[in-house]
Structure 1
Amino acid sequence: MPDLVPHGAAALGISRDTAYSLARTDSLPVQVVRLGRCMKVRRAELITFLGIREDNGDGAWAATQTPLAERTTATTGK
Structure 2
Amino acid sequence: MDHPSIVVHAPGLDGSRRVTADDEELGVASHLDDVVEILREAGLDETEVEENDIIQWQGGGPDDWPGLSEHPAR
TM-score normalised to the size of structure 1?
A: 0.29
User: Which has a greater percent of strand?
Assistant: 2
Relative CO higher for 1 or 2, CA cutoff 8 Å, sep ≥ 6? 2
- Structure with the greater alpha carbon radius of gyration: 1
User: Which has a greater percent of helix?
Assistant: 1
